[in-house]
Structure 1
Amino acid sequence: MDSLLAALRAAAEPTRLRLLALAGRGAFCVTEFCEILGQSQPRLSRHLKLMTEAGLLERVREGANAWYALPSGDAGDPAATGLARDLAARLPDDDAVLAADARQAARVLAERARAASETFRRQGADWDEMRALDLPAAAVEQRLLDLLPDHGLGRLLDIGTGTGRLLEVLAPRVAAGLGIDASKAMLALARTRLAGEGLGHCSVRQGDMYRMPLADASFDLVTMHMVLHYAEDPAGAIAEAARVLRPGGRLIIVELAAHDRADVIERFAHRWSGFSPAQLAALLGANALLAEPPALVDAPLPILVCPARRSAEALPARLSALAV
């Protein structure tokens, strides 16, 4: 009761409702909020601090920036989380002030995307790996979708989310989506992508896939799309994915099949030359995951789409220890 009353009091102010409406569109930093609302940083910082303490917003630190978004539900008071999302959904789209904020937010998001793209060009990373390898991205996405029901997938975690494309693809089927990536430049592009209509329930954050700041057994579906061939420790990455997966939950790995293309490994700095179905099944089985028959997508470099389920049994002790 006390926490809910505190959250209600924290929301009952015009600027804070405007911040909630913006947070419903995606994550913003304080500087961006200042640009959109036309208010000073000290003033908005006080509002954001109060709202974060009340559980209405989630604050995620990345380097020099802190990003604010609607709470994801990983931590904090469920009542405040529900209130924040309900209030954001109930705010009228035709309100003149909120409509003006939305127009300004669109401008800020466009500028963010432009800046992120320029950073990628300067670093020589302004390319999509599927396209660069001449791989059929649409066919791979369709094969993945064919493995899943049309709705009711619960909570999704996309490990190594990159530009957030898989979150966008699966958004209509999940209750909430979270992407983890180590690259701040990638996350900037992902946040711009997720500012689109119907994607407010998806978010991204910076994190290490070997030690994610997430609770045990907190996701119904985990995806790893073209991640393992870069991983120094594929077994460790799968172990961490298993840790956050609920009993009976699903893990889907999209990965290059084993190949002998040394030119590809050298050009794109891959750590591994793909994986065979047997290798992936062994990695999955060692981590309380029951491998299902993989699908093969034909391409110049064939791609495996490998589904698995987490056993209903308790995780091995060594996996639980990873969360400590």
Structure 2
Amino acid sequence: MMAWRFAYPDLPHSPTRRTRPSARRFTLKAGRGSGVGEWGKSGVRGRMADSGAVTAQILDGKATAAAIKDELKVRVVKLAEQGVVPGLGTILVGDDPGSRAYVAGKHRDCAAVGIASIQVELPDTATQDEIAAKVQELNENPDCTGFIVQLPLPKHVDTNTILGLIDPAKDADGLHPVSLGKLVLGQDGPLPCTPKGCVEILRRYDVPIAGAHVVVVGRGVTAGRPMGLLFTRRSENATVTLCHTGTKDLGAMVRTGDIVIAAAGSAGLITADMVKPGAVLLDVGTSRNAEGKIVGDIELAAREQAAWIAPMPGGIGPMTRAMLLTNVVEAAEASLPQ
């Protein structure tokens, strides 16, 4: 059996370049330990050169998202030169503080890169027909390049029906049934923002994906389920195991992962003893602890086992928002005459 060896270079805290994993050998420099790892049938095997605790290096989602937004500014200027201004539409139903803050953040991001904002707000008493009418308005609005319906919707609304009304060409979240179907078939289309952000941050830090065993914990439509589809594309070429909170002996499954993506929304679900040395951890799940603080699915002590971690908060969250902007710009570019 041939083992592949990769390099984790010393990286800047603000990655600004698009890269694809190409190096064959890597040296881990984290905490007091350093060593060599390799991909093989058994995954990444970290061999520490000296004893002592290892603290994972941070996959900085905020810095990476900032670099992506700088790149998008250039693309938006080029679109403007051709008479096209990308526009992001949002439909917010109700007055949930979390949803309102999230939508406001998206529009701040738009302003930062030159994307126009189209905001639609409805009371939580809005009927399904009223929401559907607003979806149709954005479908027909030429100033709207792509849009989202902020979830969750009120309980009296059929969410899947509303999402199905979105014009697939304007699906900024990449979650329309047509978009997900294209992903399954390997066809071009908007990609789900959170899985896309996970792939992108690994690429920008030169963390090797090809040949890795990726363990995904979570089966939600926005992250867990489509995650495996992205990582098994030929461009990523990973092997994926999909787990969830009902998986028998979850710890044993997670310990096989070279890359572990926790997206269950269960605080502290992934503990240090479930992580093999040298693994890469992406914390996607969000919940609030007793003090109301946002926490992820991976407990803090797991950093002592990992080589890299995208923490919660500050890791994948900013990347998700950056990928939403990217989807909008890509839709605008696709609208140009060929």
Structure with more contact order per residue of length (Cα contacts < 8 Å, sep ≥ 6)? 2
Report the structure, 1 or 2, having the larger helix content: 1
Q: Determine if the TM-score, normalized by the shorter chain, exceeds 0.5.
A: no
TM-score w.r.t. length of structure 2:
0.29
